[in-house]
Each structure stands twice: as structure tokens, then as C-alpha cells.
Amino acid sequence: MRKYEMMVLFDPSLEDEALKEEVSKVEDLIRREEGEIEKVDIWGRRRLAYPVNKKREGIYAIFYFQVNPDRLKEIDRVMKINQKAMRFMVVKRED
């Protein structure tokens, strides 16, 4: 298993409960793909450098996890479908 970091930019219109639900969905997705979540860091609402989907703000969350590289394709596919995630990016961590 390799270590990864995924930054997700959620829709700023999400309320606290809805945000917790979306974070939980991402965690479940990683676990479903036989991954292990190390840490989730919620940065909160931040102003964006440029508009994304006509929105000037977003809610940032960073997921630190381990998963087999061949399972990353499914995580990527499901995140592209997620309507509440405006953007996301997965990078391999070097420890």
C-alpha cells in the first residue's frame, strides 16, 4: 500500500451536517477500496483565487490515507461523479 493525500474542495453552500456527511462518504469510499485513513484535516471555508463553478469560496478538506495504487482509479472515478466536490486532487506522499 502507498500513502496518498487527497485535497477536496467542497461546495461552500454545505451546512455543517451536510459537510460531515460528505466527508463521511469520502472516508467510506476509501475504506470500500480497502484503504486505511490516517487523518482527515478540515481547513474550512476559504476564499478562492479564481471562481470555480461560479463560486468565490470553497470548503477545503484534506484526507491522508493508504491504499493500493490499482484501487486509486475507482476513488478517482467516484470523486468525479460527486456533485458536492467542486475539485479534488490526489498526490502520492513521500515519507
For the segment 21-26, the average pLDDT, to the nearest whole number, is 95
Instruction: Give the residue among 10, 82, 68, 1 at the shortest CA–CA distance from 40.
Output: 10
Q: What is the value of pTM for the model shown? A: 0.91
Supply the Cα-derived Rg of the chain in whole angstroms.
13
List pLDDT tens digits, range 34-64: 999 999 999 999 999 999 989 999 999 999 9
List pLDDT tens digits, range 1-20: 899 999 999 999 999 999 99
Q: Which pLDDT score is estimated for 94?
A: 86
Instruction: Give one DSSP letter per residue of 23-55, joined into a string.
Output: HHHHHHHHHHTT-EEEEEEEEEEEEEEEEETTE
Whether residue 95 is contained in a domain is answered as no
| Count of the separate structural domains present in the chain | 1
Whether residue 20 is contained in a domain is answered as yes
Q: Show the domain range for 6.
A: 2-88
For the segment 86-94, the average pLDDT, to the nearest whole number, is 94
